[in-house]
């Protein structure tokens, strides 16, 4: 991934935290003092966001030396070092929180995604959603991919997904909103796959008659997901969505749906437990 487009984001994050300067470090640490430090995993995790951490520190000290002993997307055991630093002590202290915020957030998403895939128990596409922090969608979807997940559409502009509120607007024109929605998408966006959301088995049957390529089964009970698979018989790809988490993903995957979209991968991923520690001085 090219992280250069996020340089302004890094600068804004540093401005938010450091502002005019780290007054505590400036009071305690001489300008020329050097230090070594390491970012350490405190739990088993999938590492993500390390290039952003490097960018943070080099914004503060262009000469600071960074080493990443693990690769992006690597499975890391608790206690392993994931980033090593050597340079101006003031820069390391000033960048610590901002760098950790990026790495903890993205590693948390990647780790949760990997856990979800492991819990599913069968080979199935686990998709993210648009439930991301504003302006961080590209980074968060990148973290999902590092964890082994699949990116759903990036935004409203790159894939058709007819949702319940689209249908609610169309229903004001009369019955048959599902049929009309697919027809209009075919006419105005030829050549694109159409995905449409349904809320029950009756709507599923109506969507199948339209020939929609993907049907999103919104908040279906596990039993209804199984029925939906039997009804569809491969005529459309079925996507389970709504309320899926680590506790029930195995049951959802076992129904035979083609894919599962999981909003909690981004909107509820806990920050990974990672610390940054300054190496103690070596006395003669």
Neighbours of 25 (CB within 10 A): 18
Exposure of 20 by Cβ count < 10 A (0-12 exposed, 13-18 middle, 19+ buried)?
A: exposed
Please identify which of the residues 58, 75, 84, 97 carries the catalytic annotation: 97
Please identify which of the residues 197, 203, 206, 239 carries the catalytic annotation: 197
Please identify which of the residues 72, 218, 239, 259 carries the catalytic annotation: 218
183 assigned to active site: no
Cα angle for residues 115, 9, 41 (degrees, 5° grid): 35
pLDDT of residue 106: 98
218 assigned to active site: yes
For helices 89-120 and 7-18, give the axis angle rounded to 10 degrees: 120
Pairing of strands 34-41, 81-88: antiparallel
Exposure of 245 by Cβ count < 10 A (0-12 exposed, 13-18 middle, 19+ buried)?
A: middle
Return averaged pLDDT per consecutive 10 residues of the chain, 284 residues in all.
Answer: 97 98 97 97 98 98 97 98 98 98 98 98 97 97 98 97 97 95 98 98 98 98 98 98 97 98 98 96 57
Asked if 191 contacts 212 with a C-beta cutoff of 8 angstroms, the reply is no
Please identify which of the residues 11, 163, 192, 209 carries the catalytic annotation: 163
Q: What is the pTM of this model?
A: 0.96
Q: Is the dihedral of CA 149, 154, 160, 163 positive or negative?
A: positive
H or E element at residue 227: helix 222-232
273 assigned to active site: no
67 assigned to active site: no
pLDDT of residue 30: 97
pLDDT of residue 192: 97
17 assigned to active site: no
pLDDT of residue 284: 40
Backbone dihedral angles phi then psi of residue 71, each to the nearest 5 degrees = -90, 155
Asked if 115 contacts 251 with a C-beta cutoff of 8 angstroms, the reply is no
């Amino acid at each position: 991934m090219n992280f250069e487009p996020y340089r302004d984001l890094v600068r804004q994050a540093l401005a938010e935290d450091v502002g005019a300067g780290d007054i505590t470090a400036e009071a305690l640490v001489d300008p020329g003092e050097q230090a070594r430090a390491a970012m350490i995993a405190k739990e088993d995790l999938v590492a993500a966001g390390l290039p952003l951490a490097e960018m943070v520190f080099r914004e503060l000290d262009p000469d600071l030396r960074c080493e990443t002993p693990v690769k992006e997307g690597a499975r890391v055991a608790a206690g392993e070092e994931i980033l090593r630093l050597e340079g101006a002590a003031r820069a390391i202290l000033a960048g610590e929180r901002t760098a950790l915020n990026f790495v903890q957030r993205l590693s948390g998403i990647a780790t949760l995604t990997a856990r979800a895939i492991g819990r599913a128990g069968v080979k199935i596409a686990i998709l993210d959603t648009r439930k991301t922090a504003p302006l961080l969608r590209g980074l968060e979807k990148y973290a999902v991919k590092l964890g082994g997940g699949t990116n759903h559409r990036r935004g409203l502009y790159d894939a058709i997904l007819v949702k319940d509120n689209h249908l609610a607007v169309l229903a004001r024109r009369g019955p048959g909103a599902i049929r009309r929605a697919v027809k209009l998408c075919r006419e105005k966006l030829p050549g694109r796959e159409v995905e449409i959301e349904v809320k029950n088995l009756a709507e599923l049957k109506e969507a199948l008659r339209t020939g929609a390529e993907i049907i999103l089964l919104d908040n279906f009970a596990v039993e209804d997901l199984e029925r939906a698979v039997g009804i569809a018989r491969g005529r459309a790809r079925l996507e389970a969505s709504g309320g899926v988490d680590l506790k029930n993903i195995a049951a959802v995957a076992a129904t035979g749906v083609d894919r599962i979209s999981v909003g909690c991968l981004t909107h509820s991923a806990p920050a990974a437990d990672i610390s940054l520690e300054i190496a103690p001085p070596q006395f003669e």
